[in-house]
Structure formats: structure tokens, C-alpha cells
Amino acid sequence: MFIKRVIVASALVLASHGLAQAQSCEKNFKVSGVPLVTAISYKTWQEFAKLKPEAALQRLAQGVAAEGFSGIKVDRSLGTVDAYQETTGSGRIQTLRVVARKRGAGTRVDAIFDIQAGQVTSKDIVRDGLCNIIRSATQ
């Protein structure tokens, strides 16, 4: 009986941990790559209950624009918003892709921001910007 309770309690803890992670854009934020040596990819995501991907897409595009991106392209069939920034004056762009896809009765929004090798930025600024864009899906 004790082992059964431990297993059930462990399952509840793991499930609640996964749920908490799914609800926080900031906690889902990941960075890959080696600064100044390779391209750097910043990724995060968040799920929204009872939100349709189609309804989120236009608001996400507006959130991308509000964060200063150019060349914004919305592909409704893929549920994507693609954009870029050129902030260094070098002509080397940084790219952004935001994806809204159905997840159960809601929507999962993923954001990926890539900068080229040799470019650097603050991960805190990128995290805040990506999470602002993701939160715009419901605003």
C-alpha cells in the first residue's frame, strides 16, 4: 500500500512539474551554440488553453512588429510568423520564427531567434523579447 502511494505521489509531482514548466515562457527558455564561435539559437515556448492557433497568429505578428522586427511574413497554412532584424549595420540579419500549433483544446506557441556566428546579445533581453511576443498571442 505504501509503495502504491509513493508511486501515485511521484506521478503527481512529475505531472505538476511538467504543467508548471508548460505555463512559463521564461522557464522554457533555452540557448544553444557557442558565443562568437557558432550561431546561437534562442528558443522558448508556452501553451495557452482554449486558444485557437488561427486566432493567435495575427496577434503574434503584431507582437513581432512591436519588438522591432522587419520583413514580417505570416503563413496561415503553417501557422508561422517569420521575421528578421538587422541591428549591427553589417547587413548580417538575425532571424525569428514563431509557430502557433494546436495542442489539445489549446495552442502551443514556439519562438526561435537565431543570430549568426560572431554576433552577441544578452540572453536576458532575448528571453524578455521572445516572451513578450509569445504573450501577445492572448492580448
Q: What is the pLDDT of residues 82-98, one digit of tens each?
A: 999 987 666 789 999 99
The DSSP-derived string for 5-26 is HHHHHHHHHHHHHHHHHHT-TT
Is the pLDDT reported for residue 9 higher than 60? Answer: no
Tell me the pLDDT tens digit for each residue of 19-63: 443 569 999 999 999 888 999 999 999 999 999 999 999 999 999
Distance CA 82, CA 98 (A): 7
Query: Cα–Cα distances in Å, from 46 out to 39, 90, 132, 134?
Result: 24, 33, 11, 7
- Number of residues that this document lists for the chain: 139
Least confident of 1-15, 50-64, 100-114: 1-15
pLDDT of 14 over the 90 cut: no
Task: Answer yes or no: is pLDDT of 111 > 60.
Answer: yes
pLDDT of residue 3: 55
Alpha helices in the chain, H assignment, sequence order: 2-22, 53-66, 123-135
Written as one letter, the residue type at 35 is: P
Give the E-state strand segments of 64-104 in sequence order. Answer: 70-75, 80-85, 94-103
Chain CA centroid to CA 23, Å: 12
**Do residues 106 and 18 lie in contact, with contact meaning Cβ atoms separated by under 8 Å?**
no
Put the strands of the sheet holding 94-103 in their side by side order: 30-32, 40-48, 106-115, 94-103, 80-85, 70-75
Q: Could you tell me the pTM of the whole model?
A: 0.79
